[in-house]
C-alpha cells in the first residue's frame, strides 16, 4: 500500500491549531488510471519511517549541523563582545561622578 509512492526529498512544516509543528513531505504518487506511468506530486504528513528514507537524509544532516553550529557560534559571539579583562566586573558609565 505504501510502497508505490516515492519521496522527492522536499519537506515543509505546518502549525496546527494548538501550536504543534507537523512535518510535511512531498511524494510522487502514481496516477490511478494512468497506463503511461505518469505521477502526481502531493504533500502529506510525515510518518516516522519517512525519516529513514534516503531522500530525507539532508533533513537529518541539516538538523545535526544546525545545532552544532548554533552553540559554538553563540559562544564565539559572546567572547568577541566581552573582552577577557572585564569578565565578571560591572562596567561603570564613563563621565559621571558618583554623588554621596
| Beta bridge partner(s), residue 64 | none
In contact, 23 and 45? CB cutoff 8 Å? yes
Q: Write out the chain's pLDDT in tens, 100 residues.
A: 444 688 888 889 999 999 999 999 999 988 888 778 788 999 999 999 888 888 888 888 877 776 655 555 555 554 555 555 555 555 555 555 555 5
User: In which residue are the cell numbers 509512492 written?
Assistant: 5
pTM exceeding 0.85:
no
Amino acid at each position: 500500500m505504501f510502497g508505490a509512492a516515492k519521496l522527492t526529498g522536499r519537506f515543509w512544516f505546518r502549525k496546527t491549531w494548538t501550536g504543534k509543528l507537523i512535518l510535511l513531505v512531498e511524494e510522487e504518487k502514481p496516477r490511478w488510471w494512468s497506463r503511461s506511468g505518469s505521477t502526481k506530486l502531493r504533500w502529506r504528513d510525515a510518518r516516522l519511517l519517512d525519516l529513514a528514507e534516503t531522500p530525507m537524509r539532508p533533513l537529518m544532516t541539516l538538523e545535526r549541523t544546525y545545532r552544532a553550529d548554533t552553540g559554538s557560534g553563540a559562544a564565539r559571539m559572546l567572547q568577541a563582545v566581552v573582552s577577557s579583562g572585564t569578565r565578571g566586573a560591572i562596567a561603570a558609565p564613563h563621565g559621571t561622578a558618583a554623588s554621596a
